Amino acid sequence: MEKIIEESKQGESLVLENKPENTKKLFIESYGCAMNFSDSEVVASILSDGGYNTTSVLEEADLVLVNTCSIRDKAEQTIRKRLEKYNAVKRTNPKMKVGVLGCMAERLKSQFLEEEKIVDLVVGPDAYKDLPNLLAEVEEGRDAINVILSKEETYGDISPVRLMSNGITALVSITRGCDNMCTFCVVPFTRGRERSREPQSIMNEIKDLWEKGFKEITLLGQNVDSYLWYGGGLKKDFVNASEMQKATAVDFDQLLEMVAVGFPKMRIRFSTSNPQDMHESILHVIAKYPNICKHIHLPVQSGSNRILKEMNRLHSREEYMALIDKIRAIVPDASISQDMIAGFPTETEEDHQDTMSLMEYVKYNFGYMYSYSERPGTLAGRKMKDDVEEETKARRLQEIVDLQQKHAWFRSEEFVGKTVEVLVEKVSKKSKEEFSGRNSQSITVVFPKENYKIGDFVNVKITSCTSGTLKGEAVGLSSMN
């Protein structure tokens, strides 16, 4: 649940620049969080070197891959429908191969391959480098599977092939896996234990993006604040590191500062943060550098101490609120967003009201809100009865959503009359005469095009707003250009 799922991007197929020498066609679709979309770029890069060009036409593909998510039941049901569609096409094109990547691959490997026989290969999140070998197995008529979770694999040496439709913003993975065993979450079981990527390979990737004209990057991980490089290996094994390794280790605030100083004209975002790992030192780095965006996605999941304990969240309500106070003091212009679960097992009306009162305390700018759905393989799925009635979950979720909408209006109105810096990302959906981009706080801003262009940093005076969008007039280019 720590992973932001952008509903507008679900099922996007990746189409990249073709290599004339490649003869085979790859259709790849992604579902789930930003990490999955980033992983699909890695997969496309590996297969591009293996003779595949991407296509957006399913029917002409030699290889169809779906990068999957296990975070919610809805995501799994959607992917199963897509697999049915692929197999219907496959009946008319028997040479087409179908594969499942990502989190569902790890969790449902035997079902997909042996019981239901709906795919030819199953590849877990740490096995993408093995794809050429697995495809060779499939060509020989054998099922292929690799879902082994690696202690080292971070794809630091693979330069992802970017989806170039935007060319302005990009995702840069810095960690994989997670050590926080939240009882509702499948990530530790599908992506393995936490390991960090070598800092210089991160800097090299960002340098490459800068040279290609990208203006903003998001440092990406299940828990970025927990980043720790000490020469490789799992984070949990850092206790056994040598004195030299400990003395030269790089943590997240140091990495963030390295990137900010190294690329002063590039905007830097990061996601996702975990409350118990966001230390004050990180906040001081955010406050110090104007190119680090003033937005912190800080999932809380519940405002009830009892439910937080049931979820195995490693923070209390009071600790979370103290962190919010610290953010407001050190980075006063920061926006804060949330993840929230309604109807976790045993949740009472009093627990729900604790969540509502926490929301009133923080007044988040925006959030990602779900009703609890039991995920097989999680601790909650194994040990807790999903005992909150669906109607009660739906009501509580609606109350959370309604309160968030009220707070989003409140936070949007705070910007009216102020001038904000906007990175122009695209033409507005509603009007071809307007540009759309985000400010430092990750709020969408729309303004008349005039003579500006996509990729410009523009100062915009906000004149009006909705709960999710700011509207204004450009007053000139910012110093970030």
Establish whether 465 is an annotated binding residue.
no
- pLDDT tops 60 at residue 201: yes
Per-residue pLDDT tens over the stretch 290-343: 999 999 999 999 999 999 999 999 999 999 999 999 999 999 999 999 999 999
Whether residue 357 sits in one domain with residue 221: yes
- Please state the length of the chain: 481
- Residue 362: which pLDDT band, with cuts at 50, 70 and 90? very high
Write out pLDDT tens, residues 204-242.
999 999 999 999 999 998 889 999 999 988 888 999 989
**CA-CA distance, 21 to 13, in Å (whole number)?**
22
Question: Per-residue confidence at 160, pLDDT binned at 50, 70, 90?
Answer: low
State pLDDT tens for residues 236-282.
899 998 999 999 999 999 999 999 999 999 999 999 899 999 999 99
Would 154 be classed as within a structural domain? Answer: no
Among candidate residues 413, 431, 463, the one where a domain is terminated: 413
In a domain, 434, yes or no: yes
Distance CA 67, CA 106 (A): 11
The confidence score (pLDDT) of residue 393 equals 96
Say if residue 6's pLDDT is above 50: no
Say whether 103 counts as a known binding-site residue. Answer: yes
Report the pLDDT value the prediction gives residue 17, as an integer from 0 to 100: 65
Cβ-proximal residues to 24 (8 Å cutoff; 6+ apart), any chain: 51, 52, 53, 62, 63
Identify whether residues 109 and 227 lie together within a single domain: no
- Are 13 and 139 found together in one domain? yes
What CATH number should be reported for the domain holding residue 429? Answer: 2.40.50.140
CB 274 within 8 A of CB 297: no
> Of 441, 447, 442, nearest to 427 (Cα)?
447
This prediction's pTM: 0.80
C-alpha 232 chain-centroid distance: 23
- Is 94 inside any structural domain? yes
Say yes or no to pLDDT of 13 above 60: no
CA distance 426 to 449: 10
Boundary (domain end) residue, out of 413, 437, 458: 413
Q: How many CB atoms lie within 10 A of CB 244?
A: 10
pLDDT of 161: 61
- With b meaning 16 or more CB within 10 Å and e meaning fewer, what string describes 22-61? beebbbbbbbbbbbbbbbbbbbbbbbbeebbbbbeebeeb
**Number of structural domains found in the chain:** 3
Output the domain CATH number for residue 96: 3.40.50.12160
Question: Of the spans 177-181, 193-197, 411-415, which averages the highest pLDDT?
Answer: 411-415
For 40-96, write each residue's pLDDT tens digit: 888 888 898 889 988 888 999 999 999 887 666 677 788 888 888 888 898 888 889
* Rg of the chain (C-alpha set): 23
* Residue 178 assigned to a binding site: yes
In a domain, 161, yes or no: no
Model confidence at 4: pLDDT above 60: no
Q: What's the mean pLDDT when you consider all of the chain?
A: 89
Residue type, 69: C
CA distance 373 to 213: 41
Lowest mean per-residue pLDDT among 167-171, 278-282, 386-390, 448-452: 167-171
- 293 annotated to a ligand binding site: no
For residue 429, how many C-alpha atoms fall within 13 Å in the half-sphere facing its CB? 4
190 with 327, same domain? yes
Q: What is the domain range of residue 438? A: 418-477
**Residues of the chain above pLDDT 90, percent:** 58
Same domain, yes or no: 468 and 386 = no
Higher pLDDT, 48 or 469: 469
